[in-house]
Amino acid sequence: MTQIFDNDGLALPVTVVRVGPCLITQVKTIIRDGYNAVQIGYSKGRVEDLKKPELGHLKKNGLPPFCHLREYKVLNIENYSLGQIVTVNNFEIGQFINVTGNSIGKGFSGNQKRHKFKRGPMTHGSKNHRAPGSIGPGTTPGRVFPGKLMAGQLGAKQITVSKLEILGIDCKQDLLILKGNVPGKPGNLLSIIPSN
């Protein structure tokens, strides 16, 4: 993340994302597969790193091995063809997009950090500072209801940030400048689709 200044002198928080170039590795049709979709490959890899079914799928179409394959549903497939390169030129400045990725994992976290609970009193002999406290009645029903907010794994989930505006495009280095932040840490793999 960084910041840029607009024409009015306002500082805008932005995220610079490297996009592609990606290659269309498969085109699915309603007649053959039951729905319209394109499969996109990103980041060329080594033959040794891919599993045999993935490698055979790519070799069948005469394509190089890719580390990441992702499928996107489209309304009509007339604009797409096998082996077509998808770059930042497919986006426009001012367009809104949705970005999906895995959030940063924060491990096993307590109630205050995970659910924004208040702490207990710190003085007058209180020994309940960050403890969870009572979690349910004793005799009836005699159990803890499912879904009770308690300590546990925080983060490392798939998050989608909607309606991020594209403020700039660098075609030479395949960069998108997005207003706001995206999920995950630097180097995280993201999925970018146009927003409706």
CATH of the domain at 18: 3.30.160.810
How far is it, in rounded angstroms, from Cα 103 to Cα 33? 32
Least confident range of 41-45, 106-110, 127-131: 41-45
Q: What is the pLDDT of residues 134-150, one digit of tens each?
A: 898 888 889 999 999 99
pLDDT reading at 20 higher than 90: no
Q: Nearest-5° angle of CA 20, CA 58, CA 101? A: 40
Q: Is residue 154 part of a domain?
A: no
Q: Is residue 126 part of a domain?
A: no
Q: Is residue 138 part of a domain?
A: no
Q: Is residue 106 part of a domain?
A: no
Question: Reduced to 3 states, what is the DSSP secondary structure of residue 105?
Answer: coil
Q: Answer yes or no: are the C-beta atoms of 18 and 175 closer than 8 Å.
A: yes
Percent of the chain with pLDDT over 70: 100
- How high is the pLDDT of residue 196? 78
pTM of the predicted structure, to 2 decimals: 0.83
- Domain containing 85 equals 2-89+166-182
How far is it, in rounded angstroms, from Cα 156 to Cα 102? 6
Q: Is residue 196 part of a domain?
A: no
How far is it, in rounded angstroms, from Cα 163 to Cα 99? 8
Phi and psi, residue 194, nearest 5°? -65, 145
Q: Nearest-5° angle of CA 104, CA 105, CA 107? A: 155
Confidence category of residue 61, pLDDT binned at 50, 70, 90: confident
Q: Is residue 48 part of a domain?
A: yes
Q: Is residue 157 part of a domain?
A: no
Q: Is residue 95 part of a domain?
A: no
- For range 20-44, the mean pLDDT: 92
pLDDT reading at 4 higher than 90: yes
Parallel, antiparallel, or unpaired: how do β-strands 96-102 and 191-194 relate?
Answer: antiparallel
How many domains is the chain partitioned into structurally?
A: 1
Amino acid present at 2: T
Distances (CA, A) of 60 to 20, 34, 65, 106: 23, 21, 11, 41
- For range 51-68, the mean pLDDT: 91
